[in-house]
A and B are shown apart, each in its own frame.
Chain A
Amino acid sequence: MDIIESRTWIEWVITIAKFAFCFVPVLYILLLIPMERRGAGFMQDRQGPNRSYIKIPFFGKIRLLGYVQNMCDGTKLFFKEMFAPAGVNKVLYYVAPAIPFAIVFLSPCVIPWFGPMVFEWGGQVVRIPGSIVDSEVGVLLLFGLSSLSAYGAVLAGWASKSKYSFLGALRTSSMTISYEVCLGLSMMGMLLLAGSFNLTDIVNWQEHHVWGIVAQPVAFFCFLIACIAETGRAPFDVAEGEPELVAGYHTEYGAMQFGLFYMGEYSHICINSFLVATLFLGGYSVPFVTTETMQAHMGGSLAILCGVLAFFALAFLHLIYRYSRKLKATNLTNRFEILREYSLYKIVAWLAVVVLIAGGVCAWLYYDPSKFVVNGFAVGSFATAVGTALIHLLVLVAKSVFFCWVWIWVRWTLPRFRYDHVMHLGWKIILNIALINLVVTAVIAKLVGGN
């Protein structure tokens, strides 16, 4: 009881509500799969998957720009029969796919989603950290958790009694472990500068000095490569190289078991992109604007946020209108169906533009924290804190989406490395660069007189 009463109820509500962020990597799968499939299509001058549709009353066949097909594929995977080949270790075979996916819910616990919320509540100053677990070991906890996902691969490879799976599992585990080393070492320079393992402190340092990518460009590069390798994506996907091993450690899996591996991989990408954004791209901090400035001009900041979102909605509208014009000129037999479908998107986007601009103007003109009183209880500073958190969260999401795109972009550009080349790159090149970078950073930091 003492523990509960030691904090105000609003603090408890927010602390518990923050656990919803555990689901962010899973939500990112919904974004990453269409981005990957259509992005791959565009890079190869294809159209990408766009055939499935939902029929709704007035607007006809709605394809949601190809999104429906991903939903159909997911549904198919979900309802397929799960089966195990003869001779497998049944328990491990069924447990293995769940491991990488379960870890996904734990990993995001130390990522700061927004700056610490500081506000007055009933004459008492409340401070709520932006991460689910505000731990001093911070990033180490994240590394520890995310490297656990190698167990999924190892167990899957071992349990499925197949040579291909086994070799794939061996490769995955060795690669994950060796790139963990590079990952940790390349990040050390950043930790040295910030003087803390806590990710909130690292972001705070970047906010008040410079972004990690400017302070530690070499480390950023090494870290990005090691991150891509650790997720086991192309060009480092030697573990599931089709020419040698049929599909790596998940050769023997089908249906949703395969789907879990797939989702685990995508969530891993999401977490790693959040990590890169947090460590080297200033995390939740808005470029060129400190949190204090933003809080002092909360109305204007919200107005700018609305303006940016409205700009994106208008850009989307421009694309839709432009393509509608081109589509009318073609002789596709279903062009009027598609135009009908686009009218729905136009309506939604125009509504979004109107709402966003109206909201922005209202925020600009009428936002005044001192007026925010509920039942004679001043909540102005709380409103400011929530607004700050919202902006921080969206900025972080924007940065991480960019890095998710980098993952996809690299995958569809570079050819797969040979296995020994991967090991060579990891142990003999990136590790050395990271070490030299660490030493140089340490010397300079000492000379300049940092902490």
Chain B
Amino acid sequence: MRVIKQKPMNWVERLYVFEAIRGLWTTLKHAARGLFRYETLPTISYPEGQPEIRNTYRAKHRLMLRPDGTPRCVACGMCAAACPAHCIFIEATASDDPRIEKKVKRFDIDHLTCVFCGLCAEACPVDALRMDTKVISFEHRTRDEFVAHLEDLTAWDPKDYPEDEQSQVAPGGTKNAEARKVWGMEVK
């Protein structure tokens, strides 16, 4: 056990007056900052100014896409198994591509139940599920609208992720053409 010994106050500090004046000086500096350097205040007037969000921030999910535009998800169910809140619902179906066994038919994430722990993204064996959309506000009118379906999760624009190579492989991305050659197959 660590015991923190506090330094006893000396007599100047015990007089309180001088320490109080020091405190007043501190608050005065802060007040002056608000008055004369308003833009340096750390708070943001929220709906108009958005906070800066890091790439690693666990925001709304998205499903990564193959070069031909199909979701990369192989419907293995790992994410649903890893999810502590049981908010992922997956239905699988047979894939058109002979190289791949299953494809996903239904992929729903209930964002009212989701705890944004990020375990699903970690569990994904093919790096299909990510949480880097930076979408932090969820506003809907009904509970059903909070459930993100497959179309919502795949409807993202590669232009929003310019630095991410994996995202550029998707249709519309800068590396889509060459990736398509490598992938070598058209959807029937």
- Whether the pair A326, B35 counts as a contact (CB closer than 8 A) is no
> Can you list 5 A-B contacts with CB-CB less than 8 angstroms, sorted by A residue number?
A44-B30, A46-B43, A333-B49, A335-B48, A413-B20
Q: What is the CA–CA distance of A44 and B31 in the complex, to the nearest angstrom?
A: 8
Q: What is the CA–CA distance of A410 and B17 in the complex, to the nearest angstrom?
A: 12
From B34, B39, B45, B49, contact of A45 by CB (8 A) = B34
**B23 in the interface (beta carbon within 8 A):** yes
- Whether the pair B33, A42 counts as a contact (CB closer than 8 A) is yes
**A293 in the interface (beta carbon within 8 A):** no
Chain B residues closer than 8 Å to A44, beta-carbon distance: 30
Chain B residues closer than 8 Å to A410, beta-carbon distance: 24
Q: What is the CA–CA distance of A312 and B31 in the complex, to the nearest angstrom?
A: 18
**B117 in the interface (beta carbon within 8 A):** no
- Whether the pair B45, A332 counts as a contact (CB closer than 8 A) is yes
Q: How many residues of A sit at the interface, in one of the four size bands? A: 20 to 34
- Whether the pair A46, B41 counts as a contact (CB closer than 8 A) is yes
- Whether the pair B48, A414 counts as a contact (CB closer than 8 A) is no
- Whether the pair B34, A413 counts as a contact (CB closer than 8 A) is no
**A451 in the interface (beta carbon within 8 A):** no
Chain B residues closer than 8 Å to A326, beta-carbon distance: 38-39
Chain B residues closer than 8 Å to A45, beta-carbon distance: 30, 33-34, 41-43
Chain B residues closer than 8 Å to A402, beta-carbon distance: none
- Whether the pair A42, B39 counts as a contact (CB closer than 8 A) is no
- Among residues 87 to 131 in chain B, which have CB atoms less than 8 Å away from a CB atom of chain A? none
**B36 in the interface (beta carbon within 8 A):** yes
Q: What is the CA–CA distance of A48 and B30 in the complex, to the nearest angstrom?
A: 13
Chain B residues closer than 8 Å to A323, beta-carbon distance: 38-39
Closest chain B residue to A337, Cβ basis:
B48
A409-B30 in contact given A42-B35, A323-B39, A331-B49 (Cβ < 8 Å)? no
Closest chain B residue to A319, Cβ basis:
B36
Closest chain A residue to B20, Cβ basis:
A414
**A309 in the interface (beta carbon within 8 A):** no
- Among residues 13 to 49 in chain A, which have CB atoms less than 8 Å away from a CB atom of chain B? 38-39, 41-48
Q: What is the CA–CA distance of A287 and B66 in the complex, to the nearest angstrom?
A: 80
* Interface residues in chain A, defined as those with a beta carbon under 8 Å from any beta carbon in chain B: 38-39, 41-48, 50, 319, 323, 326-327, 330-335, 409-410, 412-414
The 6 closest A-B pairs by CB, nearest first: A42-B34, A326-B39, A334-B48, A413-B27, A43-B27, A42-B31
- Whether the pair B31, A39 counts as a contact (CB closer than 8 A) is yes
- Whether the pair B39, A409 counts as a contact (CB closer than 8 A) is no
Q: How far is the CB of A423 from chain B (nearest CB, A)?
A: 16
Chain B residues closer than 8 Å to A39, beta-carbon distance: 31
From A47, A333, A412, contact of B43 by CB (8 A) = A47
Chain B residues closer than 8 Å to A43, beta-carbon distance: 27, 30-31, 34
Give 7 new A-B contacts, CB below 8 A, not counting A42-B33, A413-B20. A42-B30, A45-B33, A45-B41, A48-B34, A335-B48, A409-B27, A409-B28
Chain A residues closer than 8 Å to B26, beta-carbon distance: 413
Q: How far is the CB of B179 from chain A (nearest CB, A)?
A: 33
Q: What is the CA–CA distance of A319 and B26 in the complex, to the nearest angstrom?
A: 22
Q: What is the CA–CA distance of A38 and B27 in the complex, to the nearest angstrom?
A: 13
From B24, B39, B47, contact of A413 by CB (8 A) = B24
A47-B41 in contact given A42-B35, A319-B36, A332-B49 (Cβ < 8 Å)? yes
- Whether the pair A409, B24 counts as a contact (CB closer than 8 A) is yes
Closest chain B residue to A338, Cβ basis:
B48
Chain B residues closer than 8 Å to A47, beta-carbon distance: 34, 38, 41, 43, 45
Closest chain B residue to A315, Cβ basis:
B36
- Whether the pair B23, A413 counts as a contact (CB closer than 8 A) is yes
Chain A residues closer than 8 Å to B33, beta-carbon distance: 42, 45
Q: What is the CA–CA distance of A333 and B39 in the complex, to the nearest angstrom?
A: 15
- Whether the pair A330, B49 counts as a contact (CB closer than 8 A) is yes
Q: How far is the CB of B13 from chain A (nearest CB, A)?
A: 14
Q: What is the CA–CA distance of A42 and B28 in the complex, to the nearest angstrom?
A: 9
Q: How far is the CB of A160 from chain B (nearest CB, A)?
A: 34
A327-B39 in contact given A43-B27, A413-B27, A414-B20 (Cβ < 8 Å)? yes
Against A, the Cβ 8 Å flags (1 = close, 0 = not) of B67-103 are 0000000000000000000000000000000000000
Closest chain A residue to B30, Cβ basis:
A43
Q: What is the CA–CA distance of A30 and B39 in the complex, to the nearest angstrom?
A: 26
Chain A residues closer than 8 Å to B36, beta-carbon distance: 319
Q: What is the CA–CA distance of A41 and B30 in the complex, to the nearest angstrom?
A: 10
Chain B residues closer than 8 Å to A46, beta-carbon distance: 41, 43
Chain B residues closer than 8 Å to A42, beta-carbon distance: 30-31, 33-35, 41
Closest chain A residue to B38, Cβ basis:
A323
Q: How far is the CB of A173 from chain B (nearest CB, A)?
A: 26
Q: What is the CA–CA distance of A42 and B30 in the complex, to the nearest angstrom?
A: 6
Q: What is the CA–CA distance of A333 and B45 in the complex, to the nearest angstrom?
A: 10
Chain B residues closer than 8 Å to A38, beta-carbon distance: 34
Chain B residues closer than 8 Å to A409, beta-carbon distance: 24, 27-28, 31
From B27, B35, B42, B47, contact of A412 by CB (8 A) = B27
- Among residues 109 to 160 in chain B, which have CB atoms less than 8 Å away from a CB atom of chain A? none
Closest chain B residue to A333, Cβ basis:
B48
Q: How far is the CB of A233 from chain B (nearest CB, A)?
A: 15
Chain A residues closer than 8 Å to B20, beta-carbon distance: 413-414
